[in-house]
Amino acid sequence: MKSKYVILASALLISVATFAQKDQIKSAEKALKSGDAQGAITILNDAENMVANAKDAEQAQFYFVKGNAYLELADKSVETGKNLSLAAESYKKLIDLENASGKQKYATQAATSITQIKGKLINAAIADTQSNKQKEGAKKLYDAYLLDKKDTINLYYAASTYVNAQDYDAALTAYDELKKLNYSGKGTSYIAVNKLSGEEQGFNTANERDMAVKLGTHEKPKTEVITSKRGEIYKNIALILVQKGQSEDAKKAISDARKSNPDDTSLILTEANLYLESKDFETYKKLVGEALQKDPNNKELIFNLGVISANANNAADAEKYYLKVIEIDPNYANAYLNLAALKLERDKTILDEMNKLGNSEKDNKRYTVLKAQRETLFKGVIPYLKKANELDPKNEDVKKTLLGVYSALEMTAEAKALKAKG
């Protein structure tokens, strides 16, 4: 007989708890309707421990009200990112619950709210980045991705924004996820100008865009090819690993990436730069040679080969590479400057020999020869220095070097004119 009383007492306790929970949900709804979203959340948090024992319908209602409360706080600009994410979390629990029970009451509204939250997170992220709150913006973009993992571009933007925020650990996590997804971002963008706003708008398909143009709401349709971002992703992974002092891991990561994407020139360049930073010039030159086979007029690569050759005291190769850069781009200022610097290195050798000479007839004859060589050398670099100064007039080093050459050649009129330019 005693056990019956125990069972009855337990049943009464469950019943009392259920009534208490119903009352709390109603109280939360009432608080929310009166504009007290934070009060509604407080009430629901107090009931959290009892939710697991409630009926499916009551659990669904609980998460629906809670999601609405968090969303209202976000709409009032109260910890926007955090509350949008918490609202989405509540709605997702509600959807999972109703899908499992087979009874749909709030799921459709919750799904609509999640879509709205995703848009709000993206807009808030844009506002954050414009206000130089890169880390906060990146977190919102990542949360938007978690809401809709099919929309992987938000993960890509989150990773890029984490890099801008210098939060390299978070960026690496996002990039690793993109790598696992084999994300490229390659595709086609269908664009038309909205007549009402005057701004460009993207469409999912060409048909959608063309229909909008036919309806008269949009104009100036155009199609743009979106190039692959895979090279950039692997490059940033490698650069982050280098930043963390993991150079060998970076080399392995980029090498693996190249095996998967053998025709991606940007990956070859990324690997080459890693070896350049570690001063492995031979491997760098080999990789740059591969890249130049695919892109023979890449002036940056050719210029770097000139720098490496100069550092290796191979003046002939350095001059060849600098002249090639000028041939490709006659306005590449640094190529002219480096050519001048390369040739002026001979001046030290000549000057050292001149200073060691005595006053004998033989020495005086040698001095005359060396002086003529020096003058020829200076006259030869003037065109390069003048062009470098013309292209980069604010570069004081160029101006100072050119003035030194004019002085050595006693070209006072030219030196005076250069000084007058400021």
158-198 pLDDT, tens digit per residue, is 999 999 999 999 999 999 999 889 888 888 889 999 998 88
What are the structure tokens assigned to 327, written together? 């041939």
* pLDDT at residue 422, as a whole number: 65
Distance CA 160, CA 145 (A): 14
The gap from C-alpha 176 to its chain's centroid, in whole angstroms, comes to 14
* pLDDT at residue 113, as a whole number: 86
DSSP designation for 217: S
**If residue 202 lies in a helix (H) or strand (E), which one and from where to where?**
strand 200-203
What are the structure tokens assigned to 226, written together? 């979106």
Q: Mean pLDDT in runs of 10 for the chain (422 residues)?
A: 44 44 73 79 74 74 83 85 85 85 84 87 90 92 89 92 93 93 86 90 88 92 84 83 84 81 75 80 84 84 83 84 93 91 86 87 89 88 89 86 87 87 72
- Transcribe 297-336 into DSSP letters: T-HHHHHHHHHHHHHTT-HHHHHHHHHHHHHH-TT-HHHH
* pLDDT at residue 97, as a whole number: 83
DSSP designation for 169: H
Cα→Cα distances 323→80, 241, 285, 383, 392, Å = 56, 35, 18, 13, 18
CA angle 204, 208, 214 (to 5 degrees): 150
Q: How many residues does the chain have?
A: 422
Distance CA 35, CA 60 (A): 22
CA angle 111, 112, 117 (to 5 degrees): 95
Distance CA 154, CA 118 (A): 10
Q: Is the pTM of this model over 0.85?
A: no
**Residue 214, SS3?**
helix
SS3 annotation, 71-129: HHHHHCCCCHHHHHHHHHHHHHHHHHHHHHHCCCCCHHHHHHHHHHHHHHHHHHHHHHH
